[in-house]
Structure formats: C-alpha cells, structure tokens
A = this chain, B = another copy of it.
Amino acid sequence: MVNAIVLMNVEPKMINEVAQKLVDIDGVSEVYSVGGRFDLVAMVRVPDNEALARVVTEHFLQVDGIKASETLIAYRSVSKFDMERLFSVGA
C-alpha cells in the first residue's frame, strides 16, 4: 500500500464543498480542514504508485476550487496500531 498526504490551498468560499468532493474519491480516507498555511489536508491510501497517479491526476486535480496542492508521498510508514488486525477483530 502507498500512503500520501495532500496539502491544499482552496478558494476561500469553497472549502466545505471541496472537502466533501475529495472524501468521495476512491482511495481518499479522510479530509481535514486545518489552520495554518494550508486549508485542507487529504489522506490517500492506494495499492500502488500507479493507482496514486490515477487518483491524483484524474480525480483530485479535476476538482474545481483547488488553487495549489503539494503531495507528500510516504515511502515508509510506522503505525502504532496494526490496521490489518482491526479488520479481523471479529474473525
């Protein structure tokens, strides 16, 4: 799996609307409205780099109202919880 954190600046009047559209995209798990230099942060989790390419260029950047974006691709992640275990809790 490949994780990416996308930092975005958005048209001031469209923040809630853009956030809603982004979270509906396959591979986007969460979208945060944040304080600071950026307006929105989206968490993307996809099977591989090619899927990331499709999510970013074909879906993400087609959303109106995004003025600038910076995609931080994670090449390694350390997690406190084992996410796979979560899904098998009831198994």
Contact = CB atoms under 8 A, between A and B. Distances in A.
Number of copies: 10
Interface string A57-85: 11001100010011111111111110000
**On chain A, which size bracket covers the interface?**
35 or more
Interface in A1-55: 2-5, 12-13, 15-16, 19-20, 23-24, 28-38, 41, 43, 49-50, 52-53
B80 A23 contact: yes
Interface of A: 2-5, 12-13, 15-16, 19-20, 23-24, 28-38, 41, 43, 49-50, 52-53, 56-58, 61-62, 66, 69-81, 86-87, 89-91
Given A31-B78, A56-B75, A90-B91, 5 more contacts: A15-B57, A30-B78, A36-B70, A41-B72, A50-B76
